Structure 1
Amino acid sequence: MLKKKSLAAPYLVWMVAFTIFPLAIVIYFAFTNKEGQFTFDNIMALGPYTAVFVHSIVLAVIATIICLLLAFPISFMLSRLKASRQRMMVMLIMLPMWMNFLLRTYAWMSLLEMGGLINQFLGLFGLGPFQMINTSGAVVLGMVYNYLPYMILPLYTIMVKIDSSVIEAAQDLGANMFHVLTRVLIPLSMDGITTGITMVFVPSISTFIISRMLGGGSNLLIGDLIELQFLGNSYNYNLGSAMSLVLMVIVLLCMSLTTADTEEMEAMV
């Protein structure tokens, strides 16, 4: 027993140094002013930014739903391939992630600009140019492109363990495609769905590079506001800490709702 505790010691040190201690610093600055006095002013000052918080949540939810709708059939098809083809397809899905995040986003800028490749292609048919860059749609597109693999991989990991005989048995018992999907595949994949939602929603709601490069100044997200407080001209780290703390609470609430819905669905099944 003592040996097991000693093996966990490095993990505990890591948690304290890189999780608990930074969180304590954020909480401290969120509830103090620049003189170090306790105050709720930083939390109360977040009122004017409510629209930005709501906008961030909406875009993150949309991006997460799109990723789930795209990843579910892709993951199922991958899980039904031969083992050698599965490895190759997973490598192709992971391949864009080997490129720098900024470079991937810059590539979409060149595609979506007024004189970008997409508008040039549409111009061949007498269409456009269309305003695609600096829009909410461009931000969601950037989120989906960058975070889709984070939804595919956990779903694929779960689905590859689902025996084909389970699906065949459901079909033999009279289940149509819809019933196989809702009564077999989705319930058996709930762990992967929950993990994928978490891995996509959390970076989506806190991103600032994608919104800055693809959304322009009119599509500020929570991450942009926090960055401006720490690196912008205002340099108000107390207000930035308050924003970070509220963002953390929002994420935890959304994740708890997701977990509760998952447990409820599994209980019903």
Structure 2
Amino acid sequence: GVPFLWLAVFFALPFVLVLKISFADQVMGIPPYTSLVEIKDGVVHFALQLSHYAFLLQDDLYIATYLSSLKMAAVSTVLCLLIGYPMAYYIARSEPNRRNVLMMAVMLPFWTSFLIRVYAWIGILKDDGLLNHTLIALGIIHTPLRLYHSDAGVYIGMVYSYLPFMVMPLYAHLVKMDLTLLEAAYDLGAKPWVAFTRITLPLSKNGIIAGSLLVFIPAVGE
């Protein structure tokens, strides 16, 4: 239908074009890359350039960078899911008037530039930042925590930035869930955890998948 056509035009076709360019060689011209298929004397020749991929896979620095990006994106996605699911569940079960306020609070970070939000977290997480000053003043720690320029600081910033992308699709699925299914499960003697794992979690599976993709894909590129 129309949704699949939209995805094909704006997602699949650009991806195919980038994939095609990755197998081509650079030239001066329009377009600035060689053709992958050539026809000479009625014979079709394929000119796939694999040197780009070979160059990337031969350098240990590139491989380490790719693996680090995948690890940080995966961990950030899991953290967003663990934090975002309870938030979305609470918002979906709140009173209708309160839902709007809570969802507005979730959307508030989008009202500020991404760059400004990142710089705000730098001021909070650095050695002489707000967080360390507060913890030292309360006597919880005696030396500043090394959060700035660390993996922990990166995870905090990424989870804060992408958490709304996890909450919104989860909320959209949880708020439409038929609560009579839970009531029937409780009437039949099901414990709350059993009802959650057998009913709520499966019904929100599509929201989990959508939220995870919305977080993981941009997080890989950070």
Question: Which TM-score band (shorter chain)?
Answer: 0.7 to 0.9
Deviations 1:52-83 (A, max 9, x none): 11111111111111111111111111111111
2:218 counterpart residue number: 203
Q: Distance in 2 between matches of 1:25 and 1:78?
A: 41
User: SS at 2:164's partner residue?
Assistant: helix
1:29 counterpart residue number: 21
Which of 56, 78, 101 does residue 88 from structure 1 map onto? 101
Q: Distance in 2 between matches of 1:136 and 1:101?
A: 19
Q: Distance in 2 between matches of 1:148 and 1:131?
A: 23
Residue 29 of structure 1 aligns with an amino acid whose one-letter code is I
What TM-score do you get using the length of structure 1 for normalisation? 0.67
2:40 counterpart residue number: none
Kindly indicate whether residue 191 of structure 2 is the aligned counterpart of residue 176 of structure 1: yes
Residue 84 of structure 1 aligns with an amino acid whose one-letter code is N
Residue 196 of structure 2 aligns with an amino acid whose one-letter code is L
Deviations 1:178-231 (A, max 9, x none): 211110110111111111111111111112xxxxxxxxxxxxxxxxxxxxxxxx
Structure 1 residue 115 displacement after superposition: 1.0
Structure 1 residue 24 displacement after superposition: 5.0
Structure 1 residue 19 displacement after superposition: 6.0
Where do residues 149-160 of structure 1 align in structure 2 (5 Å cutoff)?
A: 149-160=164-175
Residue 159 of structure 2 aligns with an amino acid whose one-letter code is V
User: SS at 1:46's partner residue?
Assistant: helix
Structure 1 residue 138 displacement after superposition: 1.2
Q: Distance in 2 between matches of 1:76 and 1:119?
A: 32
* Structure 1 unaligned spans of 5+: 208-269
What TM-score do you get using the length of structure 2 for normalisation? 0.81
Residue 182 of structure 1 aligns with an amino acid whose one-letter code is T
Kindly indicate whether residue 91 of structure 2 is the aligned counterpart of residue 78 of structure 1: yes
Contact 1:122 1:128 in 2 (8 A): no
1:164 counterpart residue number: 179
User: SS at 1:45's partner residue?
Assistant: helix
1:226 counterpart residue number: none
1:46 counterpart residue number: 56
Residue 42 of structure 1 aligns with an amino acid whose one-letter code is H
* Structure 2 unaligned spans of 5+: 28-32, 35-47
1:236 counterpart residue number: none
CA radius of gyration, larger in = 2
Where do residues 1-269 of structure 1 align in structure 2 (5 Å cutoff)?
A: 15=9, 20=13, 22-23=14-15, 25-35=17-27, 36=33, 38-47=48-57, 48=59, 49-124=62-137, 125=139, 126-207=141-222
Q: Distance in 2 between matches of 1:119 and 1:26?
A: 45
Flag the structure with more relative contact order, 1 or 2, with Cα contacts below 8 A and sequence separation at least 6.
Answer: 1
Q: Distance in 1 between matches of 2:180 and 2:25?
A: 62
Structure 1 residue 103 displacement after superposition: 0.5
Over the matched positions of the two proteins, sequence identity in percent amounts to 34
Q: Distance in 2 between matches of 1:193 and 1:23?
A: 24
The size of the alignment, in residue pairs, is 196
Structure 1 residue 25 displacement after superposition: 4.7
What is the RMSD computed on CA atoms of the aligned residues?
2.2
